[in-house]
């Protein structure tokens, strides 16, 4: 039997987490108690979470996870919320103050706008996660019925398989971008920049000194005193 900490076991666990993640609708809503869908899939693999915590996926997802893991499907965990009809966020643009808090909260980058300017939701990209609603300080976001023609193209009755793939990709791109933004300047790079600035200052001072010395030594210049 493989030790759980061996590289081979870690590789097998990662592969299983990827398969479990593919069974989740990728709304990235955090109702399961984890920061994103893949984190929940990893927790299930580690035995830290049950298979019944995905509220948007509901029975469809529970049965899929049970099948992959060879378990018996269980009922949804009520602590994770109650399954409701899919919704879409809508911003009252006249009340929007441009604070950007909803943009920061959206896990799939479905909201566009700039600070101090009106924001708007791209309905075709909204996963209905609801995370933007409590983030709004002026309560200008409400949930509405999503545009017609969405969903019903995958295993879930209200989420499309193509949407799940796109939400996963958008969430991954957002996470990568935020890591880049939050990445501090490496100490070496900062030291190099500081040294470069100091060298430029010394070079400028030397040029001034040379000009002064050259002017003082030119022939025909009257001596001081």
- The structure tokens 């909204």 sit at 126
Q: What angle do CA 83, 58, 139 make, to 5 degrees?
A: 35
In contact, 30 and 39? CB cutoff 8 Å: no
Q: At what angle do helices 7-21 and 58-69 cross, to 10 degrees?
A: 150
d(CA 15, CA 12): 5
| Region for residue 78 given its phi and psi (left: phi exceeds 0; alpha: psi -120 to 50; beta: otherwise) | alpha
d(CA 123, CA 112): 11
Q: Which residues contact 222 (CB under 8 A, 6 or more apart)?
A: none
Which domains are present in the chain?
Answer: 7-80 (1.10.15.40), 88-182 (3.30.70.20)
What are the pLDDT tens digits along the chain (225 aa)? Answer: 445 567 778 889 999 999 999 999 999 999 999 999 999 999 999 999 999 999 999 999 999 999 999 999 999 999 999 999 999 999 998 999 999 999 999 999 999 998 888 999 999 999 999 999 999 999 999 999 988 756 567 789 889 999 999 999 999 999 998 887 655 545 545 565 566 556 655 655 566 567 667 665 555 554 444
The confidence score (pLDDT) of residue 154 equals 77
Q: CA–CA separation, 62 vs 39, rounded Å? A: 16
């Amino acid at each position: 039997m493989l030790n759980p900490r061996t590289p081979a076991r870690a590789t097998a666990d990662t592969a299983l987490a990827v398969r479990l993640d593919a069974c989740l609708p990728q709304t990235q809503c955090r109702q399961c108690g984890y920061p994103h869908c893949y984190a929940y899939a990893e927790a299930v693999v580690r035995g830290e979470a049950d298979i019944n915590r995905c509220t948007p996926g509901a029975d469809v997802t529970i049965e899929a996870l049970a099948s992959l893991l060879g378990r018996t499907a269980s009922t949804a965990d009520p602590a994770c919320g109650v399954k409701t009809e899919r919704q879409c966020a809508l911003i009252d643009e006249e009340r929007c103050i441009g604070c950007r808090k909803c943009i920061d909260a959206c896990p799939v980058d479905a909201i566009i706008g700039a600070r101090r300017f009106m924001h708007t939701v791209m309905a075709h990209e909204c996963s209905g996660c609801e995370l933007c609603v409590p983030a709004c300080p002026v309560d200008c976001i409400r949930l509405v019925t999503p545009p017609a023609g969405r969903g019903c193209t995958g295993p879930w009755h209200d989420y499309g398989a193509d949407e799940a793939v796109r939400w996963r990709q958008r969430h991954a791109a957002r996470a990568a971008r935020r890591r880049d933004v939050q990445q501090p300047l490496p100490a070496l790079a900062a030291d190099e920049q500081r040294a470069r600035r100091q060298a430029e200052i010394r070079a400028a001072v030397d040029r001034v000194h040379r000009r002064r010395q050259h002017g003082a030594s030119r022939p025909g210049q009257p001596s001081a005193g």
